[in-house]
Amino acid sequence: MRAGWVLFGCAAAVALLPWSPYHLSLLTMVLLLALLAASWHLLALGGQLSFGHAAFFGVGAYASALLASRGGLGVWAALPGGAISAAAVALPVGALSLHLRGPYFSLATFAAAEILRVLATNWTPLTGGAWGLVGLPPLPARGSLLAAGGIGAILLVHVFLGQSRWGLALAAIRQQQERAEGLGVPSRPLLLAALVTSAAFAGFSGALYAHHVRSLEPATAFSLLFSILPLIMALFGGTASPAGPLLGAGILYFLDELFLQPRFPAAHQLLYAGAILLVLLTMPEGLLGFARRRGGRRGAP
Amino acid sequence: MALLEVHRLSKAFRGLQALREVGFAVAEGEILGVIGPNGSGKSTLFNIIAGALPPTSGTVTFAGEVITGRPPWEISRCGIGRTPQIPVVFPELSCLENVLLGAAFGCRRRRLPVALARQEAVAALETVGLAGLAARPAPHLSLGQTKLLEIAMALAASPRLLLLDEPAAGLSPAAVKAVLEVLRAQRERGLTLLLIDHRLRAVSELASRILALDQGEIIAEGPPVEVTRHPRVLKAYLGEA
């Protein structure tokens, strides 16, 4: 948890420095991806692995974009609208899918993202169809601070979980769901609350994305990329602590953008995948888990 | 009025009739033993009472409320605790945290503050003699200690009825003694128990009444001395001469 606050403090401090527009853009992107990864991790605390967070990311992106471009709201008001819309969509998705477990739940979330992508593609009068929406209002200056604020809010959720019985309940559901239910833990309502909270943050991340890139199309907003990236970033950084997904997002995004793409433009995706495989094969507990295990071993008598 | 009433309960798994029109009642403070050979339907009966399985037909009434078909967490909060046949603890949690779950979420409708729940969890660990192992990770316990931890998890929830599924199965004589001592103490406290066990002697000593099941049907019911000598019970356990 402490590592999470350190990363959050560093991100907020860095976001305040006078960067070039290009570097500010990179910073905003990495922070909104870190927010997406941290939102995915909130649900994973209860043992449910979503393969469809693009559903909530895309709904948040479209809702905020439409509220700002056609609803006449300012971006400040539209952004929370994106989060609320994603949370509202998560309610029926969770009610239908949370009686499933393991890979079946994962596939149900994947299907939800696909259904929403098809819906956004074909609901042309509202979404602009496959052409999408362009010329969206931009994020306010220092938009990266908004993403950092979202990350700070997720860390506060973790503080609440750590101090209440609900964090223990999520850990129990993750480890032995049936036994937890037998002890009185209301697993399905609790997982639904975790999914809705997670979706709200994913939706906020999507809303930031919409006003950051200033154009949206269904194939991008609901793409598999935004379902798989948070999962990979969280596993890469480690899922034992909220700092893991943040670290994973930071390392993977900057590794690709600042090192692999400029130096190996033709092979950067191959090297990116290789880096992920290397970490997952040699450090299955993620970078942070590995570092803690090594640190613990050194400290042991 | 009986605390638990099971009325014409049946359960079929496709072609297999696991329970057939089973009915009985348990009074507050009573200890009812449930015996029967493997496959007789004992654990299915517990699973249905605890909400882990839906019955094919029949009802379960607890403290005057029909609880059939409710999710397990609601049944637990009504006041029914349970220990499973094969111990299931939370491997990433300490013994205290395992018991804390029972205290924080168990058989109560009101919300208990975490600090108070922690006190109740410590008290439950003391009851079963595991207070010294509170900080130990749950998977680091022996089988006997794990069975005691399971009982502590259930007791921490302050149940009105505790379902114990073979609490002494597979244990050494010393561990069996420790488990039976804890159960005797609960009997003295007046807790209502429904106890499955293969050890006829142990069940006979603890229970005031025994229910014998075979192939999903009740074949005998009454005081331990009568049931353990009942010809149908002897036939079910030992076969035909």
- For helices B143-156 and B173-189, what crossing angle results, to 10°? 10
- The percent of residues in chain A predicted with pLDDT above 90, rounded, is 78
> What pLDDT is stored for residue B6 in this prediction?
95
Q: What is the CA radius of gyration of chain A?
A: 19
Helix/strand/coil for B27 = coil
pLDDT of residue B110: 58
Q: Which residues of A touch B154 (CB under 8 A)?
A: 183
Taking the C-alpha atoms of residue B201 and residue B3, their distance in angstroms, rounded to an integer, is 26
Establish, for the pair of chains A and B, how many residue pairs have beta carbons separated by less than 8 Å. Answer: 75
Strand boundaries in B14-79, DSSP class E: 16-26, 31-35, 57-62, 65-66
Query: Alpha-carbon distance A197 to B33, whole Å?
Result: 46
B137: contact with A, CB 8 A cutoff: no
Cβ neighbors of B149 (< 8 A, separation 6 or more) are B87, B89, B95, B98, B99, B128, B130, B138, B141
Residue A293: pLDDT band (50, 70, 90) is: confident
Rounded distance between C-alpha atoms, residue A236 and residue A233, angstroms: 5
Residue A300 has pLDDT above 50, yes or no: no
Contact check, Cβ <8 Å, A183/B153: yes
Residue A59 is assigned to a structural domain of this protein: yes
| Interchain CB contact of B50 with A (< 8 Å) | yes
Cβ-contact B27, B193 below 8 angstroms: no
The pLDDT value recorded for residue B108 is 63
Contacts of A181 in chain B (CB under 8 A): 52, 71-73, 76
All residues of chain A having their beta carbon less than 8 Å from the beta carbon of residue B72 are 178, 181-182
Mean pLDDT of B113-141: 92
Question: What residues contact A17, with CB distance under 8 A and at least 6 apart?
Answer: none
Answer yes or no: is pLDDT of B16 > 50.
yes
B52 touches chain A (CB under 8 A): yes
Residue found by looking up tokens 């089973």 in the block? B22
* Domain coverage including residue A139: 2-14+26-294
Answer whether B92 touches A (CB < 8 Å).
yes
Instruction: State the smallest CA–CA distance between residue A3 and chain B in angstroms.
Output: 21
Domain count for chain A, please give it. Answer: 1
Res B185 pLDDT > 50: yes
Chain B CB contacts of A183 below 8 Å: 73, 76, 101-102, 105-106, 153-154, 157
What is the domain-level CATH number for residue A57?
Answer: 1.10.3470
- CA-nearest residue to A99 within chain B is B71
Q: Please report whether residue A227 resides in a domain.
A: yes
Tell whether A21 is covered by a domain. no
**Is residue A230 domain-resident?**
yes
CA atoms of A197 and A203, how far apart (whole Å):
10
Complex ipTM, two decimals?
0.89
Residues contacting B79, CB < 8 A, separation 6+:
B62, B63, B107, B108, B159, B160, B161
Asked if residue A69 is part of any domain, the answer here is: yes
Is there a domain that residue A19 lies in? no
A264 occurs within a structural domain: yes
Q: Residue A187 falls within a domain, yes or no? A: yes
pLDDT digits (tens, 9 = 90+) for A147-193: 999 999 999 999 999 988 999 999 999 999 999 999 999 999 999 99
**CA-CA distance, B152 to B171, in Å (whole number)?**
17
Q: Considering only the beta carbons, identify the residue of B52, B101, B157 that sits closest to A178.
A: B52
Look at residues A282, A270, A272 and name the one whose alpha carbon lies nearest to residue A252.
Answer: A272
pLDDT of residue B54: 94
Considering chain B, what is the average pLDDT of its residues? 90
pTM score of the predicted model: 0.90
**pLDDT tens for each residue of A182-210:** 999 999 999 999 999 999 999 999 999 99
Find the Cα–Cα–Cα–Cα dihedral B4, B9, B12, B13, rounded to 10°. Answer: -10
Please write the tens of the pLDDT for every residue from A52-69. Answer: 999 999 999 999 999 999
Does B90 have pLDDT greater than 70?
Answer: yes
